[in-house]
Chains A and B, each alone.
Chain A
Amino acid sequence: MDLVPTQNTDLSLTAYDPRQVNVLLQQLAQVDAALGQTIPKRRLTGGAVGIEVSAEQLLDVARLLRDALGFEMMTCVSGVDMIDHLESVYHFRSLRNNWLLQARVKLPAENPRVASLVSLYPSANWLERETYDLFGIVYEGHPDLRRILLDDDFFGHPLLKSFRPTPLTVHDRATTQSSAMQAVAGEQQRNIETITHKHLGQGNEERLHPGKLTFGSAAVFKQTGQGVEPVPEDALNALPEPETLTTDNTEAGPPKEQRG
């Protein structure tokens, strides 16, 4: 993407001074004035200042931070799972004033969505993708929100506290190239012609006979109900007997009573 030009071309170094924090706390009044409300501010260890922003205001606040207060760098995006809610935490740095600012956005645990900052800070691109990958936070307006560290058909978001690992054999692992740029797997590859099936032993067994748990997956599924498509108990019983179980001493055809 193209860079957004900024006016600050003067790059100079300021020696670190703990009193800079007080200046920053005063300067943050600009953000308060622009938003028309007082945002919570507090001092953190290590000479940082923490603010708390709502998800709707994040884009406005970030624009103010960049243009009015001179935070040139966004160094870090972290997700935090607080069990009753999720958090997206941003760290901004200002080189000219030697400031470090931490902005926290609280998001609901169900369907967490927040505006993406890629348009303001290009460095947010991979950092937000990573947080989406590991926490499932959706960054709206992100140009390319895909998994980055994990496999495309990974199930779940592993840094959530509720995450439980599932055995690899439960899912079909075939991966295909949808375009030259992107390898897809799982649901995405259903309508693509060039699927190459791989022989994966128990994985194929699981796919061909859904509900029949393979080695190792049963314990996890019974404990957590995660990892495979949840099949209700009665539906499991209603499944017809698989043909592979038919042995020689069970004769094919209708029962003897009806035959007679």
Chain B
Amino acid sequence: MATEVQPGYEVGPAGFRSEEMILNMGPQHPSTHGVLRLVLVLDGETVVQCTPVIGYLHRGMEKIFENRPYMAGPRYIDNADYLSPMLNECCYAGAVEQLMGIEPPRRAQYIRVLVGELERIASHLVAIGTYGLDLGAFTPVLWCFRDREQILDMFESLSGHRFTHNYMRVGGVLYDFPKGWLEQCEKFLDKFEKTSIPELEELLTGNEIFEARTQGVGYIDPQQALAYALTGPVARASGVPFDVRVNRPYGAYREIPVNIKLRQDGDCFARYKVRMDEMGESVRLCRTVLDKLPGGPISVRSPIALRPPRGETYFSVESARGEESLYMISDGSEYPYRAKLRAPSFVNLQVLPELLRGHKIGDVIAILGSIDIVLGDVDR
């Protein structure tokens, strides 16, 4: 099938142009990081047009929220962005707290920051590791998953689950730290900062192949980032100073200032580098929490059947991928009347057809990996 000639599209010297080919990438393709289908129109190796097809992982999460009590929400929101469930739970618990007008105890807020930043490190480790894998470097993914496994082990001893933690509660957290957990955490942070981050920098940042594949590829203009409402590392790599932890601090971030990590280049390398910088920043935040961790209760006493007053609220947290928000409406009953999850990956993925146009097909994988989507978050 021939499509229309795109403006700026190269026509050969004799007026001929090669026939376009349609390539269906995914939904079962290792480099699409899940079940994402990309329909690519190719001219030779150049992408003329790209149409993402999503929805293969749609579970109707918003409908599930409406049919479960508020208590059950954190367990389901775990599965939205399955690489950073703790941050999702922070979003849900925070939204219901804002709806009810309650504030969790100070210790619970600090614990949320600690586990949230650890989860951000774990999520960025997956992003960077698999990104190296996409571009042909096999070692980073092994080293990243080795470090991530230690974080998951800590979460397991804290909450009982490696992935779907179900740890946050409305008004606090479920368990306090087990014996020796904080020492284990401190040991991990030391080792991670002293050896793991420099190792990764050596493997990827100075790697000539890696630089050649990422620098100057997939440029996002700051105005484009704003127009497409991009958030998270994708926006910050384009110089958009948006970080919910800084712009609208919530929880203990009101007491712990965050240094926003910005890059101006806007290409794939900048997005990778922002994630690396953010891991270092997360380590610093974790240390701050460990230093200042207050005592006291970890949760307020709240009834099992939560009945927030009638009203609506919009609560945002900075997830590992950008602004994650819940627009929640309560009608005074035990069930949310409406809970809209604003998923960062869903909004960030929109810009992909714009980015891919004119790039070679090898860059498709580099650009898609640098946006760092999680299909559970895209489809919900």
Residues of A near any B CB (own CB < 8 A) = 3-6, 9, 11-14, 16, 44-48, 72-76, 78-81, 89, 91, 93, 95, 98, 100, 102, 121-123, 125-127, 130, 134, 147-151, 158-159, 179-181, 183
Q: Could you tell me if A45 and B101 are in contact, using CB atoms closer than 8 angstroms?
A: yes
**Across-interface contacts of B53 in A (CB, < 8 A):** 183
**Across-interface contacts of A9 in B (CB, < 8 A):** 222-223
Q: How far is the CA of A134 from the CA of B346 in the complex (A)?
A: 15
Q: Could you tell me if B314 and A46 are in contact, using CB atoms closer than 8 angstroms?
A: yes
Nearest residue (CB) in B for A144 is B51
Q: Could you tell me if A123 and B229 are in contact, using CB atoms closer than 8 angstroms?
A: yes
Instruction: Tell me the minimal C-beta distance from A75 to chain B in angstroms.
Output: 5
**Across-interface contacts of A46 in B (CB, < 8 A):** 98, 248, 313-315
Q: Could you tell me if B39 and A180 are in contact, using CB atoms closer than 8 angstroms?
A: yes
**Across-interface contacts of A16 in B (CB, < 8 A):** 247-249
Partner of A159, one of B63, B101, B312: B63
Q: Could you tell me if A95 and B242 are in contact, using CB atoms closer than 8 angstroms?
A: yes
Q: Could you tell me if A181 and B39 are in contact, using CB atoms closer than 8 angstroms?
A: yes
Q: How far is the CA of A4 from the CA of B226 in the complex (A)?
A: 11
**Across-interface contacts of A3 in B (CB, < 8 A):** 221, 223-224, 227
Q: With an 8 A cutoff between CB atoms, is B379 at the interface?
A: yes
Q: Could you tell me if B312 and A179 are in contact, using CB atoms closer than 8 angstroms?
A: no
Instruction: Tell me the minimal C-beta distance from B370 to chain A in angstroms.
Output: 19
Q: Could you tell me if A13 and B241 are in contact, using CB atoms closer than 8 angstroms?
A: yes
**Across-interface contacts of B60 in A (CB, < 8 A):** 158
Nearest residue (CB) in B for A13 is B241
* Selected A-B contacts with CB under 8 Å, 6 pairs: A9-B222, A9-B223, A46-B313, A76-B314, A127-B347, A159-B66
Q: How far is the CA of A150 from the CA of B63 in the complex (A)?
A: 13
Instruction: Tell me the minimal C-beta distance from B37 to chain A in angstroms.
Output: 10
Partner of A134, one of B62, B223, B227: B62
Which B222-281 residues have C-beta < 8 A from chain A?
Answer: 222-224, 226-229, 231, 239-242, 246-249, 260
**Across-interface contacts of A4 in B (CB, < 8 A):** 227
Chain B count of residues within 8 A CB distance of the other chain: 53
Nearest residue (CB) in A for B24 is A180
Q: Could you tell me if A47 and B248 are in contact, using CB atoms closer than 8 angstroms?
A: yes
Q: Could you tell me if A80 and B329 are in contact, using CB atoms closer than 8 angstroms?
A: yes
Q: Could you tell me if B342 and A76 are in contact, using CB atoms closer than 8 angstroms?
A: yes
**Across-interface contacts of A130 in B (CB, < 8 A):** 346
**Across-interface contacts of B241 in A (CB, < 8 A):** 11-13, 95
Q: With an 8 A cutoff between CB atoms, is B327 at the interface?
A: yes
Q: What string of 1s and 0s marks CB contacts (under 8 Å) between B1-26 and chain A?
A: 10000000000000000000010000
Q: Could you tell me if A98 and B347 are in contact, using CB atoms closer than 8 angstroms?
A: no
Determine which residue in B58, B227, B241, B327 has the highest number of CB atoms from chain A within 10 A of its CB, and name it. B227
Q: How far is the CA of A3 from the CA of B350 in the complex (A)?
A: 14
Q: With an 8 A cutoff between CB atoms, is B44 at the interface?
A: no
**Across-interface contacts of A127 in B (CB, < 8 A):** 347
Q: A11-B222, A16-B249, A149-B54 are in contact. Are A78 and B338 (CB under 8 A)?
A: yes
Q: With an 8 A cutoff between CB atoms, is B282 at the interface?
A: no
**Across-interface contacts of B58 in A (CB, < 8 A):** 149-150
Q: How far is the CA of A98 from the CA of B316 in the complex (A)?
A: 13
Q: How far is the CA of A73 from the CA of B380 in the complex (A)?
A: 22
Partner of B1, one of A79, A89, A149, A180: A180
Partner of B260, one of A13, A72, A89, A179: A13
